[in-house]
Amino acid sequence: MNGAGTGRTPGGLLVVGDVVTDVVARHHGPLAPATDTMAEIRTVPGGAGANAACWAAHSGYTDVRLLARAGQDSAAWHNLWLRRSGVRPLLVPDTDAPTATVIALVDAVTAERTFLTDSGAVNRMSPGDWSPALLDGITHLHLSGYLLFADSSRQLALRASESARRAGATVSLDPASAGFLAGLGARRFLTLTEGMDILLPNADEARLLTGLSEPADAAMELSRQFPLVAVTLGSAGALVAAAGKIIATVRAPTVDAVDSTGAGDAFTGGFLAAHLMGASSREAAEAGCRAAAVAVGVVGGRPPVVGGGATDDE
């Protein structure tokens, strides 16, 4: 998808969120307590915000930037990976906390995953990391929902959203985690995100936010607060709602899943890239589903990078 023929020249996309070191362990059998379980283990760059930024660039968006905080020991490595993916990194090095780390336990048969999360430097993002100058050339701000789950980073997210609206930029948010969202509470989340333009939850998050069991009902209810809501349905695809109605339902491509880590981030990046370049809601959802289909076919949450991988000492 590109901007040709849409009649729109998109401005910059600024993602504010998390950069994470992912340790992905694909195990081929049940986890064996108190002993060894054979697995394929890889260390790769990740993070919901960083992943979404990389997928937006992979989907054809030409000006994608990422504001995040990383441990000083690995900031250069993460900078390198972001640049290779076409993202302009705006990483704040943290001398007192390591880069966030996630251990992803992936069932090699079902591709489903379980996360163990050390938020590290992510939770240390603060309003001091923000400047309205970061919005120069930006027409859309995307926030990772992980920012809402700690006091300091929550204040950063709210300040960035307020600055974006004052500057005339639109704002989107991915709720990020049903588990963390349950801890924050649906009512508080909806209060914090009032005034944002696009919400990108998965089905579990949409259910949690509304108390409605059917994703379509939840999407329609959420679209009474958010002008545009896109709910991902896993292998079933996605649906889009606006003004209390479902306006698009799309199927996901059929693929052999290897690792579902980052599929939602891929949808977010693909959807936003297409939407911001003038695609219809259906076309944007289709672009998001195509990106997610690529994502589940690779280990980790990022798009494939042409030219091979990076090493720790680069």
For 157-192, write each residue's pLDDT tens digit.
999 999 999 999 999 999 988 888 999 999 999 999
- Say if residues 49 and 15 touch (Cβ distance below 8 Å): yes
Burial of residue 102, with CB atoms counted within 10 A of its CB: 0-12 exposed, 13-18 middle, 19 or more buried: buried
CATH of domain 15-30+39-295: 3.40.1190.20
Residue-wise pLDDT tens digits, 202-258: 999 999 999 999 999 999 999 999 999 999 999 999 999 999 999 999 999 988 888
Q: How, if at all, do strands 113-118 and 100-107 pair? A: antiparallel
Per-residue model confidence as pLDDT tens digits over 78-126: 999 999 999 999 999 999 999 999 998 988 887 777 889 898 998 899 9
Mean pLDDT confidence for 268-285: 98
Mean pLDDT for the chain?
Answer: 91
Domain boundaries, the chain: 15-30+39-295
- Residue 7: predicted pLDDT: 44
- The string of pLDDT tens digits covering residues 184-196 is 999 999 999 999 9
Q: Is the pTM of this model over 0.85?
A: yes
More confident residue, 313 or 145: 145
